[in-house]
Structure 1
Amino acid sequence: MRVSENTRFPHPVLGLDTGDFALGEFSVEIEVKENRSTGAVTLEHTVTLTEPGIIALVESNQASVGCIIKCVDTFFSDLRQMAWSTGRTDFSPGLLLNRVSLRPIVWLKTDLNEWDPGTIHHEFEPPVSLNNGDIIAVGEELIINVGQAKLAPIESIFDLVKSENIPEGMFEVDTTGHRIALLVNEEMFQTLAQLRLKTDGPEILMSSIYMPAIMEVLDALRNGDQSYESLRWYQPFIAKCDLKGVSIEPNMSIIKAAQILLERPVARLSKLVGE
């Protein structure tokens, strides 16, 4: 089953900015609990549903709340019913790893004849008749990241590499290898190596080298190029984006995203000056 922001249904559905209902909202908040030693995952959830007619269906067991859960890396794809309105869902080790998408939905467990909660848009000419299995509410897709990739320091996916072809005072970013190469000439290589050893060196490097490098990476990824997915740096980078709430999209602000990923390095520079 595939549901996206562009999906449209022949019957009224709460959510996806359809305007099918005059009022009401539907969303699910997820908190991920991981057992690092076994790989087991627990999702603790809280459902927000404010449309009275749909609430009544859920509470009378005529409809269910759950999520369509997909994990590309493990080929896991399933619709999981979730307890109303809070609860937990357990997953065995190995079922979920790296990037996992969750699409909250409410679906009918029975046929529904002549249903009119009083909030359906008039274009559907309520009352309406719906079938067992019909989706009647869709929430915003959630992205979580499972596993240890997201915990790696983002600078660990970079390598400082000497190159005779780089002009003095410049550097270039090469994203084609399994680690992202920061190409510099011999003099700059020595300067950066010494800077790393200083107490405040890492903070300076974050703003001067890593932030523009990450902007370069984000710019490459926002164009939808899938050639990077097989490279080892890709999964930790995407995991860090998911952890920090950075969504890679064509119209994203790469400078804002880079600052979020590096936890506002310019602010840390100001602190160094104050010291």
Structure 2
Amino acid sequence: MRIKQSASFPHPILAEATGDYGPNKFQLSLEVQEQAAAGDVHLTGKLLLDDGSILKLIEAGQAVSGLMIYCQGTYLDAFENRDLGDIELDLSGGKVRGPVHVRGVVVALQDGLKLDSAAISDEFPDESRFVDAGDLLAMTDELSFEAGLEKLSPMESIFRLKLHEELTEGVFALDLDDEAIGILAAPSLHRFLSLLREQAARDALLSSLYLPVVMSVLDAMHDEPDYVDKRWHSVMSARCNAEGIDLANPDLASAAQRLLDSPLGSLQRVFEKLGGA
């Protein structure tokens, strides 16, 4: 199960978002090594906690530290017991695909444990400082990464240029109802774009066509959940996750430029090659 960063609890929680333990910290850092084609994913990192009272509970066997791992793409929802300090985790063998979410946690193993850290905010009365087995004592920020091959798919693989007889010349429209994103163009523009795609100046398409297309697609992904089963949606989502782009609240211009690898720079290089700058 995933824990919302904004979740509230009836007892103090050591977490960056709560501030219940003042300046004390519980932090997770991760590095991801992946061989996407083979389905191999290895995590290494550190799980660090600096509150003495919670450390004593762990050392006494009254609480346990570990990682919560959630991957909707493979229905993985697991807790992996891991000691504090250096950590390793093998998620190979197809255990994860798509967005993967990892959070460090400390969980109570006994009923009636007293939370007696001097760092706990005075706002918590004494009766709120007791926890039972299974209660959460501490949580890190959630870290996420994208597993699998979708994030490696070329952007052009999800676009299809389509002829549309009834469109006004010089403009394009989008069709998002197929597995690929349809870019609809009237006959003259369709011929020109088809020709341009085969020329040295094809990178000009990145800024003149693909940039506004990607901005429109990102906006549609934010507002229209009906497209989630389309292949183009899964590729775009994977690319956004890999780039750290928040689809819930995207900066459309910035996100599109990142996904297309600074397309205006490509346009500038086209003109430099052609002697125009």
TM over 0.5: yes
Asked if 1:198 corresponds to 2:235, the answer is no
Partner AA of 1:247 in structure 2 = D
Partners of 1:82 and 1:89 within 8 A in 2: no
Counterpart of 1:39 in structure 2 is 39
Counterpart of 1:259 in structure 2 is 257
Q: Deviations over 1:51-75 (max 9, x none)?
A: 4443454455543332322222222
**Structure 1: runs of 5 or more not aligned:** none
Matches of residues 115-264 of structure 1 in structure 2 within 5 Å? 115-126=115-126, 128-202=129-203, 204-223=204-223, 225-249=224-248, 251-264=249-262
Partner AA of 1:10 in structure 2 = P
Partner secondary structure for residue 102 of structure 2: strand
Partner AA of 2:257 in structure 1 = Q
Give aligned pairs, total: 272
Partners of 1:67 and 1:79 within 8 A in 2: yes
Partners of 1:155 and 1:210 within 8 A in 2: no
Partners of 2:206 and 2:267 within 8 A in 1: no
Please state how far the C-alpha of 1:271 moved relative to its aligned partner: 3.8
Asked if 1:78 corresponds to 2:78, the answer is yes
Partner secondary structure for residue 184 of structure 2: strand
Partner secondary structure for residue 242 of structure 1: helix
Q: 1:54 to 1:261 in 2, by over 3 A?
A: farther
Partners of 2:16 and 2:141 within 8 A in 1: yes
Partner AA of 2:125 in structure 1 = E
Q: 1:168 to 1:55 in 2, by over 3 A?
A: farther
Partner AA of 2:108 in structure 1 = L
Q: Deviations over 1:70-102 (max 9, x none)?
A: 222222211122342222111241221122222
C-alpha distance in structure 1 between counterparts of 2:104 and 2:76, whole Å: 16
Q: Which stretch of the first structure deviates more once superposed, 129-138 or 54-63?
A: 54-63
Q: Deviations over 1:3-57 (max 9, x none)?
A: 1123111100122522212112333222222344542322222224344443454
Partners of 1:173 and 1:180 within 8 A in 2: yes
**TM-score (normalised: structure 2):** 0.88
Q: 1:9 to 1:182 in 2, by over 3 A?
A: same
Partners of 1:104 and 1:140 within 8 A in 2: yes
Partner AA of 1:99 in structure 2 = P
Partner AA of 2:187 in structure 1 = E
Q: 1:166 to 1:55 in 2, by over 3 A?
A: farther
Partner secondary structure for residue 200 of structure 2: coil
% identical equivalent positions: 32
**TM-score (normalised: structure 1):** 0.89
C-alpha distance in structure 1 between counterparts of 2:25 and 2:119, whole Å: 12
Partners of 1:120 and 1:126 within 8 A in 2: no
C-alpha distance in structure 1 between counterparts of 2:205 and 2:102, whole Å: 36
Partner secondary structure for residue 137 of structure 2: strand
